[in-house]
Amino acid sequence: MWSLAWPLVLMVLPLPIILRRLVSEATGLSEAGLRVPSIDSFSTLKDRSGKEQLHKWRFWIAVIAWVLLVFAAARPERIGEELDVSVAGRNLMVAVDLSGSMDQKDFELAGRRVDRLTATKAVASDFIERREGDRIGLILFGERAYLQVPLTLDRETVNILLMEAFIGLAGEKTAIGDAITLAVRRVYEQDDSEGDQVLVLLTDGANTAGEVQPVKAAELAQQVGLRIYTIGIGAEQLKVSSLFGGRRLINPSTDLDENTLTKIASLTGGRYFRATDTASLQDIYKLIDELEPVEEPESGFRPVQPYFYYPLGLAVLLVALMSLVSLIERVALRRAR
């Protein structure tokens, strides 16, 4: 629809009429009350008639130019249909442990027993899919840490490369500190690092490799504003066959360093979670969704296209035309003299 940004400007439209009346009254008081007739007046009647016609045209051109100028000052604009504008989300990196211990089959998925990495892929993939508007990055770590996917809005690519990861791809050991340091480096290199920076780190063990200790890496993360949510994965009890027949219970998560993971989260303003089965892992990622909600698109935005330059340009053109006519008239008058 069409609208005026500053409609009150139209109130100045009658200003020239008001000024003309005030000036005419003041001039009328100062004029002489007696005119002496002269024969020269009769000899110039024909010229005056032509000048009066020219004066009328000039008057109406001036009126039109004034109306156009005032209309342009009121800023006519066209308002478009209401649009939803997506809001830039946070930088969210997902770090997944690919060490040898992730091969432990102590999770269930769709009624069958699977290893920890398979369960992680299924749950983390759903989590990534829900993060619309966030820039997602993927870090895979074992004995070394790799940036598998830089921060991107392409969630499909992140999911594909997560699904292609396999145990032992980055070595058999666990370099938690190096994974955090890599995330810190990516945050530091980002141009928009002032926004929310989040790392979700999942592991089933303790730091057994790498050049940087996890707590030291967490201190670096704190300095750049990287909030870390740590997830310790692994069942607390698992039935295995014994050497003498029968089955016995073991704790497959004895290597999990919960104290360090808790300290990492605490230092950076995040939280530590413990996932002992697929259901609890799903709940953890849903809870992270609540703690780091996805930005909803803003509604109610309408694009505005200004059109003030059309009446302004036409007014300038008319003023230029009036000036040209006046100039021609003066030149002709000088030649006549």
**How many other C-beta atoms lie within 10 A of the C-beta of residue 8?**
8
Query: How high is the pLDDT of residue 43?
Result: 45
| pLDDT score of 19 more than 90 | no
pLDDT for position 222: 94
Higher pLDDT, 187 or 299: 187
Cα 311 to chain centroid distance, Å, stands at 35
H helix or E strand, kind and range, residue 42: helix 39-43
Share of the chain above pLDDT 70, in %: 80
Is the residue at 159 inside a domain? yes
pLDDT score for 147: 94
Residues 192 and 259 in one domain: yes
CB of 91 within 8 A of CB of 190?
yes
- Mean pLDDT across the chain: 83
pLDDT of 317 over the 50 cut: yes
Residues 60, 77, single domain; the answer is yes
Same domain, 168 and 72: no
Which of 47-51, 192-196, 231-235, 302-306 has the lowest average pLDDT? 47-51
The answer on 272 and 306 residing in a single domain is no
Q: Report, as an integer, the average pLDDT of 254-259.
A: 91
User: Would you place residue 39 in the very low, low, confident or very high pLDDT band (cuts 50, 70, 90)?
Assistant: very low
Judge whether 30 lies within some domain: no
107 and 240 inside one domain:
yes
Do 199 and 287 belong to one domain? yes
CATH number of the domain that residue 158 is part of: 3.40.50.410
Is residue 37 assigned to a domain? no
Contact predicate 169/117, CB 8 Å = no
Give which of 101, 95, 292 is closest to 183, Cα–Cα: 95
Q: Do 243 and 269 belong to one domain? A: yes
Query: What beta strand segments (E) does the chain contain?
Result: 2-4, 76-79, 83-85, 91-97, 107-109, 112-114, 135-141, 145-152, 197-203, 226-233, 238-241, 247-250, 272-275, 298-301, 304-306
* Structural domain includes residue 77: yes
Residue 62 maps to a domain: yes
331 against 48, higher pLDDT: 331
Task: Provide the pLDDT for residue 42.
Answer: 43
Q: Identify whether residues 252 and 217 lie together within a single domain.
A: yes
| pLDDT score recorded for residue 191 | 56
Give the residue among 182, 191, 175, 104 at the shortest CA–CA distance from 138. 182
Instruction: Please tell me the pTM assigned to this model.
Output: 0.63
Range scoring the smallest mean pLDDT among 16-20, 42-46, 239-243, 281-285: 42-46
User: Is the domain of 150 the same as that of 214?
Assistant: yes
Do 52 and 134 fall within a single domain?
A: no
Domain that holds residue 309: 2-22+47-81+302-336
- Residue 131 within any structural domain of the chain: yes
C-alpha distances in Å from residue 76, one per residue of 11, 199, 209, 301: 15, 49, 67, 18
Of the candidates 80, 75, 64, the residue with the CA atom closest to the CA atom of residue 309: 75
101 and 52, same structural domain?
A: no
State whether 132 and 242 are in the same domain: yes
End-of-domain residue from the set 266, 282, 297: 297
Domain count, the chain: 2
Residue 261 pLDDT level (bands cut at 50, 70, 90): very high
Instruction: Provide the pLDDT for residue 5.
Output: 85
pLDDT band at 47 (very low <50, low <70, confident <90, very high): low
Residue 322 lies inside a defined structural domain of this protein: yes
Q: Which of 94-98, 312-316, 331-335 has the lowest mean pLDDT?
A: 331-335
Q: Does residue 52 fall inside a structural domain?
A: yes
**In this prediction, what percent of the chain has a pLDDT beyond 90?**
45
Per-residue pLDDT reduced to its tens digit, 106-163: 899 988 999 999 999 999 999 999 998 889 999 999 999 999 999 999 999 999 999 9
The pLDDT confidence band at residue 97, using thresholds 50, 70 and 90, is very high
Confidence tier at 299 by pLDDT (50, 70, 90): low
Q: What distance lies between CA 138 and its chain's CA centroid?
A: 22
